Amino acid sequence: MLGFLIRRIIQSIFVMLAVALIAFMMFRFMGDPVNSLVAENATVEERDAVRERLGLDQPLWVQYGRFVARAATGDFGLSWRNARPVSTLLAERFPATAELVLVAAGLSLLLGIPLGILTALRPHSFSTQTLQFFSLIGISLPTFVTGILLILVFSVWLGWLPSFGRGTVVDIGWWSTGFLTLSGLKALVLPSVMLCLFQLTLIMRLVRAEMMEVLRTDYIKFARARGLTNRSIHFRHALKNTLIPVITIFGLQLGGLIAFAIVTETVFQWPGMGALFIQAVSFGDVPVMAAYLVLVSLIFVVINTTVDLLYAVLDPRLRVDGARAAH
Amino acid sequence: MTTSSLSRAFNSDIAWSFRTSWSARISSLILVLLFAAALLAPVLATQNPYDISQLFLLDSELPPSWIDGGDPRYLLGTDQQARDVYSSILYGLRLSLIVGFASVALAAALGVSLGLLGGFVGGVVDGAIMRVADILLSFPAILVALLVNGIARGVLPPERHADAAIWVMILAIGLTNWVQYARTVRGSTMVERHKEYVQAARINGVSGAGIMIHHILPNVLGPVLVIATINLGMAVLTEATLSFLGVGMPATQPSLGTLIRIGNEYLFSGIWWVVIFPSVVLVVLVLAVNVLGDWLRDALNPKLR
């Protein structure tokens, strides 16, 4: 277990160093920073002086080391577009994205697992057929088309829900939350539904497939032979084993949610990090792009590592195998 | 092709599976129609929507022709610049498909070469390629494509963005999707390189590159077709998403995604047709490609039957 943990953490560090290298290369080779700092008619000596002051004359690996050290403290310099510290920009935007992603993730679990169980226990009922059909549509529709349809129906035609922004937010320290006001909650509905739809269908299908698989196994047959109630068999015996793969997929998909939040934030003009990243991409604003990349990668790596470890904790079979392999 | 090989192709397993699969036949019919529409766009379109002299501002925001106030000249209505939605879709479909096919070709070429190289040479080269592939795979495709896109935009001067957009898109999507090809080809190359025909070629003094290209390559290409088909749907969708986000094809050269983005801006004036029709075409296109890809995967893999 410990060996596994250490291996996973070392692997994660390497991934982060690779990501930092990409971010560093973007800084180093996209535009010459010296040009933006010296006067147009600066002499070669003046340029060299600036270059020396910034440390750009040192070997690349020294510069890379300094970049990593600064990035580790969250320092990515100033945005090229509006000359504010990148870390401040991201910190302002982070709560909006975090709340959106958390609500979407929660929705997909709260709806996906029960629906998956329902469709597995009653494979031939009308509701199952309907759900399966809609899940096929849910998987095939491009996310932004779903978002546009939601806006068209619920904002333009019915006028029930707002189609852009976060509503009124309340500041708690540096965190701005939309959970505490009615308009904030209403503004969350459409974006989180749009964002969760794909994952919801995925979890529903996964739970369904796993549940049907588990229900065929011997220990379930044995439980039935013992005369346990259906309720106890389905929820106390079968569900536990069904949920283990769900954790893995859910963890992996959480990264997908963060990435697709970019699209959701654009459709609903949600003031999150994704919208900031899109602006940075269209203006070629390297510091913001690099910082977003590093931050999102860090989140991914932490999620993936946690999922792997959780998996080992939750599934005793893996632990036994690990112990045997160690001998 | 001779008659005998024609009849052999007609009687093959694949052809039989195709003839008996409704979904495969319907989706390929839809695809043939869409490809033809894209190819013949200049003929089928009633106007060239990007030739300003053909646009009449009086005709802007007309609804589809079957709705009150519609004009029979504009089947699916017009947008705010009086561009015919039907003609814009034809031209947009064309661009979406060009970017889709070109990026799939790039991804396949890159993935097959790297997979072949890694599987055949092994060692450090293989390790390096596969580590890069692992890292790429742990990020969502859309994020990688956005990043490549952003880097290309940062490197190019702003005035060249519009002209270079199509190349940037092909590059961004192609560089994102090669991993699957590389993994598959690498796997089968590692199996093939120990077979007798490869040893025979070695004994005959064929060079490493010669063995890779002339002997192993033809034997590992089978699954590539399936991956490419499924990939085409992904590529079209990624292109549409990037264009929708405003970092893909520019408004002067709109693909389906750009059309949806433009239409989305008018949504609140109740002009739904500018956004709905391109969306429908996009969804039908992607759905048809995916259904065909699924069928192809099952048909070529007898183990699944």
> What was the ipTM of the complex prediction?
0.75
Closest by Cβ to B135, choosing from A15, A255, A280: A15
Judge contact between B139 and A297, C-beta under 8 A: yes
Asked whether residue A93 falls in the same domain as residue A195, the answer is: yes
On whether both A93 and A242 belong to a single domain, the answer is yes
Let me know if residue A81 belongs to a domain.
no
Q: Which of B237, B241, B243 to mutate to test the interface with A (most CBs of A within 10 A)?
A: B241
Same domain, A161 and A21: no
Q: Name residue A172's beta-bridge partners.
A: A175
Cβ–Cβ gap B154/A266 under 8 Å: no
Distance CA(B244)–CA(B278), nearest Å, equals 12
Low-confidence ranges of chain B (pLDDT < 70): 1-12, 49, 51-62, 65-76, 82, 301-305
CA distances from A207 to A118, A210, A224, B9 (A): 10, 5, 21, 41
Q: Are residue A143 and residue A57 in the same domain, yes or no?
A: no
Fill in the amino acid letter for A4.
F
Through-space distance between the first and last CA atoms of chain B, rounded to whole angstroms: 30
Which pLDDT score is estimated for A15?
82
Last residue of one domain, picked from the residues A42, A72, A102: A72
Tokens of B198: 């490869």
Of B247, B276, B282, the CB nearest to A282: B247
Residues A40 and A139 in one domain: no
Is residue A239 domain-shared with residue A274, that is, in the same domain?
yes
**What phi-psi label fits residue B61: left (phi over 0), alpha (psi between -120 and 50 degrees) or beta?**
left
Contact A279, A265 (CB under 8 A): no
Distance separating alpha carbons of residues A316 and A307, to the nearest angstrom: 15
Q: Are residues A61 and A153 in the same domain?
A: no
Q: Mutate which of A35, A148, A257, A265 to disrupt the B interface (most B C-beta within 10 Å)?
A: A148
- Distance from the first to the final alpha carbon of chain A: 12
pLDDT tens digits for range B136-146: 877 788 888 88
Phi, psi of A171 (to 5 degrees): -90, 125
pLDDT of residue B1: 47
Residues of A in contact with B284 (CB under 8 A): none
CATH number for the domain that contains residue A276: 1.10.3720.10
* Dihedral over alpha carbons A96, A102, A108, A113 (to 10 degrees): -170
Residue B203: count other Cβ atoms within 10 Å of its Cβ.
Answer: 8
Find all residues with CB under 8 Å of A190, minimum gap 6, and list them.
A147, A150, A151, A154, A155, A161, A162, A163, A268
Residue range of the domain that includes A209: 88-326
- Distance CA(A133)–CA(A40), nearest Å, equals 63
Site of tokens 């084993």: A241
Per-residue pLDDT at A245: 78
Ranges of chain A with pLDDT below 70? 1, 30-40, 54-56, 315-327
Indicate if A60 and A162 belong to the same structural domain.
no
Residue A82 belongs to some domain of the structure? no
Q: Give the best residue of A13, A140, A144, A199 to mutate against chain B (max B CB count within 10 A).
A: A144
Domain check: are A100 and A228 in the same one? yes
Final residue belonging to a domain, choices A46, A72, A98: A72
- Give the integer Cα–Cα distance in Å for B164 and B253: 11
Q: Classify residue A80: in a domain, yes or no.
A: no
Q: Considering the entire predicted model, what is its pTM?
A: 0.80
* Short-list A64, A92, A98, CA closest to A79: A92
Whether A168 is covered by a domain: the verdict is yes
Q: Exposed, middle or buried, A183 (CB in 10 Å: 0-12/13-18/19+)? A: middle
Long-range (24+ apart) CB contacts under 8 A made by A255-258 are A255/A296, A255/A299, A255/A300, A255/A303, A255/A304, A255/B138, A255/B139, A255/B140, A256/A198, A256/A199, A256/B140, A257/A101, A257/A104, A257/A105, A257/A195, A257/A196, A257/A199, A258/A97, A258/A101, A258/A296, A258/A299, A258/A300
Judging contacts by C-beta atoms under 8 Å, the chain B residues touching residue A263 are 142, 241, 244-245
The single-letter code of the amino acid at A204 is M
User: In the 3-class helix/strand/coil scheme, how is A131-162 assigned residue by residue?
Assistant: HHHHHHHHHHCCHHHHHHHHHHHHHHHCCCCC
Report the interhelical angle of A86-121 vs A273-283 (nearest 10°): 120
Residue A248 lies in a domain: yes
User: Is B47 at the interface with chain A, CB within 8 A?
Assistant: no
Closest-CA residue in chain A for B247?
A: A282
Domains in chain A, number: 2
Q: In this predicted structure, what is the pLDDT of residue A58?
A: 73
Q: Which residues of A touch B (CB under 8 A)?
A: 15, 18-19, 22, 26, 30-31, 140-145, 148, 151-152, 156, 163, 255-256, 259-260, 262-263, 266-267, 277-278, 280-284, 286, 289, 293, 296-297, 300, 304
CB contact (8 A) between residue B142 and residue A30:
no
* Whether residue A295 sits in one domain with residue A252: yes
Q: What is the 3-state secondary structure (H, E, C) of chain A?
A: CHHHHHHHHHHHHHHHHHHHHHHHHHHHHCCCHHHHHCCCCCCHHHHHHHHHHHCCCCCHHHHHHHHHHHHHCCCCCECCCCCCEHHHHHHHHHHHHHHHHHHHHHHHHHHHHHHHHHHHHCCCCHHHHHHHHHHHHHHHCCHHHHHHHHHHHHHHHCCCCCCCCCCCCEEECCEEECCCCHHHHHHHHHHHHHHHHHHHHHHHHHHHHHHHHHHCCHHHHHHHHCCCCHHHHHHHHHHHHHHHHHHHHHHHHHHHHHHHHHHHHHHCCCCCHHHHHHHHHHHCCHHHHHHHHHHHHHHHHHHHHHHHHHHHHHCHHHHHHHHHHHC
Residue A209 lies inside a defined structural domain of this protein: yes
Do residues A183 and A220 both lie within one domain?
yes
**Count of CB contacts below 8 A, A vs B?**
101
Residue B61: per-residue pLDDT: 67
Per CB-CB distance under 8 Å, the chain A contacts of B247 are 278, 281-282
Among residues A307, A239, A269, the alpha carbon closest in space to that of A147 is found at A269
pLDDT at B37: 83
CATH number of B91-300: 1.10.3720.10
Report the C-alpha gap between A111 and A91 in whole angstroms: 31
- pLDDT value at position B109? 93
